[in-house]
């Protein structure tokens, strides 16, 4: 009788002991080096000696195209299968956002750490300060996906378990991004409140990729479900309150001169005005070129392509048939038959003409090789 009782007692004690032990997730094989986070050799709970967290740049993969194309995430549950995660595609999109470290945070050295090295596999754990693996992954995905799919339906990413059984590894495609044709900014300028930005013209003509302009933006900014559905050609944006004038002009001022306010601040400006050709291309348009349509020179269809700054590239065989008086100076007889390069050393006719090729004591513009006339009025 006593034996039975003692066996029973032993069972109860051991059962309760098992129940007490919580499975604690240990770091996997590729465990972090303790010193990655702790500055002391033997950190304790009370004195963890934590280093500033090293949110360093990813060194594991250098280019997004080197990233693994598809990763299978998660283990199949009762209802839903794992997720075929289009990793490379996301990496591409991440360029407009936080980059690789947007997801691979705290990662500091190759190879990239696995999530489960830090995030416990079991929800019953001691360190409640960071989410468990399942939650960490869901939060990463949901953060963006929720923005354009607020229902948060599991089947957006997970395949239904029955379907998953015969899944062919198909990857859910990203939602389409429809760029607007133009964006009208309602600014807080005193005059000419609205500034129209020709988004489509910019991306088409200058062959811009999203990431060329959009950096550090949330996914939802473009993958906005409502906007995609409505696919509005014209968006209206309000300039954020509290922006300094400099901040407000920052983006445009990369390409445009911003000294003439009215160029932009007048509802619908002409599409060309304000583009600082010289600043962006190094080829300042002279007054003749400035009057031309862009397509007169940039003839190739599609985005504007850079063309040679050499005059001959457009003005074929013009030399010898040029009336210098058009430039505002009628050459005298001694200079009339000289080659252009004799004075204009650079092919672009931008630099100051030189006299030293022939004359030691003459300089431009103190001495002129002819008679100044009104520009553009050739005297024949």
- Which residues are near other proteins by CB under 8 A? 18-19, 79, 123-124, 128-129, 131-132, 134-135, 138-139, 142, 146-147, 150-155, 224-226
CA distance 55 to 34: 16
**Residues 6+ away with beta carbon under 8 Å from 65:** 88
Closest CB to other proteins among 235 and 340? 235
Taking the complex as a whole, how short is the minimal distance between the CB of residue 263 and other proteins, in angstroms?
A: 35
Taking the complex as a whole, how short is the minimal distance between the CB of residue 221 and other proteins, in angstroms?
A: 12
CB 143 within 8 A of CB 191: no
Taking the complex as a whole, how short is the minimal distance between the CB of residue 95 and other proteins, in angstroms?
A: 24
Taking the complex as a whole, how short is the minimal distance between the CB of residue 140 and other proteins, in angstroms?
A: 10
Closest CB to other proteins among 5 and 128? 128
Q: Where do we find the tokens 């990233």? A: 67
Q: What is the DSSP letter of 266?
A: S
Q: Where do we find the tokens 């004690």? A: 13
Q: What is the dihedral of CA 259, 264, 269, 274, to 10 degrees?
A: 40
Taking the complex as a whole, how short is the minimal distance between the CB of residue 289 and other proteins, in angstroms?
A: 48
Closest CB to other proteins among 148 and 330? 148
Closest CB to other proteins among 19 and 63? 19
Taking the complex as a whole, how short is the minimal distance between the CB of residue 219 and other proteins, in angstroms?
A: 13
Taking the complex as a whole, how short is the minimal distance between the CB of residue 218 and other proteins, in angstroms?
A: 11
CA distance 37 to 54: 8
Closest CB to other proteins among 19 and 52? 19
List the structure tokens of 362: 């003459």
The alpha carbon dihedral of 319, 320, 325, 329 has a sign of positive
Closest CB to other proteins among 141 and 210? 141
Closest CB to other proteins among 226 and 371? 226
């Amino acid at each position: 009788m006593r034996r039975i009782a003692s066996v029973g007692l032993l069972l109860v004690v051991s059962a309760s002991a098992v129940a007490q032990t919580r499975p604690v997730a240990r770091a996997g094989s590729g465990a972090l080096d303790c010193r990655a986070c702790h500055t002391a050799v033997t950190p304790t709970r009370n004195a963890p000696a934590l280093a500033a967290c090293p949110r360093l740049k990813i060194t594991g993969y250098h280019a997004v195209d080197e990233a693994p194309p598809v990763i299978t995430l998660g283990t199949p549950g009762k209802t839903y299968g794992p997720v075929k995660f289009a990793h490379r595609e996301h990496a591409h999109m991440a360029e407009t956002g936080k980059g690789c470290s947007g997801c691979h945070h705290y990662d500091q050295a190759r190879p990239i750490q696995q999530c489960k090295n830090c995030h416990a596999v079991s929800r019953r754990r001691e360190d409640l300060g960071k989410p468990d693996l399942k939650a960490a992954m869901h939060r990463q995905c949901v953060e963006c996906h929720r923005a354009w799919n607020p229902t948060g339906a599991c089947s957006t990413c997970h395949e239904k378990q029955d379907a998953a059984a015969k899944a062919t590894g198909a990857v859910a495609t990203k939602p389409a991004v429809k760029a607007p044709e133009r964006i009208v900014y309602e600014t807080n300028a005193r005059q000419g409140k609205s500034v129209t930005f020709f988004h489509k013209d910019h991306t088409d003509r200058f062959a811009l990729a999203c990431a060329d302009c959009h950096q550090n933006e949330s996914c939802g900014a473009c993958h906005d479900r409502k906007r995609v559905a409505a696919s509005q050609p014209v968006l209206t944006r309000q300039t954020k309150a509290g922006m300094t004038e400099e901040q407000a002009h920052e983006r445009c001022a990369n390409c445009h001169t911003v000294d003439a306010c009215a160029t932009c601040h007048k509802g619908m400006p002409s599409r060309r005005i304000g583009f600082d050709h010289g600043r962006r291309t190094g080829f300042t348009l002279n007054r003749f070129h400035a009057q031309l349509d862009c397509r007169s020179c940039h003839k190739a269809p599609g985005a504007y392509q850079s063309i040679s700054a050499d005059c001959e590239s457009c003005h074929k065989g013009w030399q010898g048939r040029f009336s210098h008086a058009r430039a505002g100076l009628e050459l005298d007889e001694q200079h009339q038959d000289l080659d252009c390069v004799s004075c204009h050393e650079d092919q672009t006719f931008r630099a100051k003409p030189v006299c030293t090729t022939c004359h030691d004591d003459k300089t431009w513009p103190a001495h002129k090789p002819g008679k100044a006339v009104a520009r553009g009025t050739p005297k024949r």
